[in-house]
Amino acid sequence: MNDVLERPVFEARQLTKVFTKAGKTIEVLDGMELSMKSGEVVGILGASGAGKSTLLHIAGGLDWPSSGTVHYGEKDIFSLSEPELAAFRNKRIGFVFQMHYLLSEFTCLENVMMPGIIAGGEKDQVRERAEVLLKQVGLSQRGDHRPGELSGGEQQRAAVARALVNHPSMVLADEPTGNLDARTAASVQDLFLDLNETHGTTFLVVTHNREMASRFHRRFQLRDGVLHQER
């Protein structure tokens, strides 16, 4: 066995997260563990307030755990300095949220290019990559449009393309279809699975959509601060 291939692309160990609000403490994560291989699509289900967004924020280095570690390959992300972590996040992790967060004053193509430019990429190369991605997500005719001129599904597809521009190790998605009607949601689901099959993109997806999760390689319920695998 090739050791490098067997090493998890992502590993969360013994994560805890305690929030204190108005003198009351809430234990949101309580020794949560997750290990993912490259090319896996994993779903996280759970009740509202179970801590799914908290888990995703910590997995993506947007928030710190109270204790525990997150590794991407060999890299322990919470041992990095703030600027190192910000750079790692930008280059190695793709984010898709329920809201698309596209910048309204930029075109669709410019929005997709943005993380590549921020990462210091050469403009023509970043543009080329962004154009390839727009094609992959079915928006090659929409590059010049502003976000306001796109439908909800197209906006979310553009957000997916933007998440992929720097070839991230993993894409984290928090209820990516939560704002979409059933048919549009299904087309975004199909896009994730297509990207996974065609390019081996690794996804960790929080969703309320059981039908969507049933198509993933593995799915878990987040309950009482830990993950319970579903069959």
- Give the interface segment with ligand ADP, choosing from 4-12, 45-53, 84-92, 125-133 (CB under 6 A): 45-53
Binding residue (CB under 6 A) for ligand ADP from 2, 25, 48, 141? 48
202 binds Mg ion (CB under 5 A): no
Binding residue (CB under 6 A) for ligand ADP from 36, 41, 45, 46? 46
Q: Rounded distance, CA 225 to CA 121, Å? A: 39
Residues 1-40 that bind ligand ADP (CB under 6 A): 19, 21, 26, 28
Cα separations (Å) of 68 from 51, 53, 163, 204? 16, 17, 26, 19
209 binds Mg ion (CB under 5 A): no
207 binds Mg ion (CB under 5 A): no
Binding mask 53-92 for Mg ion (x = CB under 5 A): x---------------------------------------
Binding residue (CB under 6 A) for ligand ADP from 51, 116, 121, 168? 51
Q: Which CB, 53 or 196, lies closer to Mg ion?
A: 53
In whole angstroms, how close is the CB of 203 to ligand ADP at the nearest point?
17
224 binds ligand ADP (CB under 6 A): no
Q: Rounded distance, CA 135 to CA 128, Å? A: 11
Q: Two tokens at 25? A: 């403490």
- How many residues are given for the chain? 231
Give all strands of the β-sheet with 218-223 in edge-to-edge order.
93-96, 170-174, 203-206, 41-45, 218-223, 226-230
- Residue 90: name its binding partner from Mg ion, ligand ADP, none (Cβ under 5 to 8 Å by kind): none
In whole angstroms, how close is the CB of 16 to ligand ADP at the nearest point?
13
- Give the interface segment with Mg ion, choosing from 35-43, 45-53, 76-84, 87-95 (CB under 5 A): 45-53
Tell me which residue of 5, 45, 53, 8 sits closest to 28, measured CA to CA: 53
Catalogue the E-assigned strands of the chain. 10-21, 24-36, 41-45, 67-72, 75-76, 93-96, 170-174, 203-206, 218-223, 226-230
49 binds ligand ADP (CB under 6 A): yes
Q: Rounded distance, CA 106 to CA 26, Å? A: 40
99 binds ligand ADP (CB under 6 A): no
HEC string of 182-214? HHHHHHHHHHHHHHHHHHCCCEEEECCCHHHHC
143 binds ligand ADP (CB under 6 A): no
Residues that bind ligand ADP (CB under 6 A): 19, 21, 26, 28, 46, 48-54
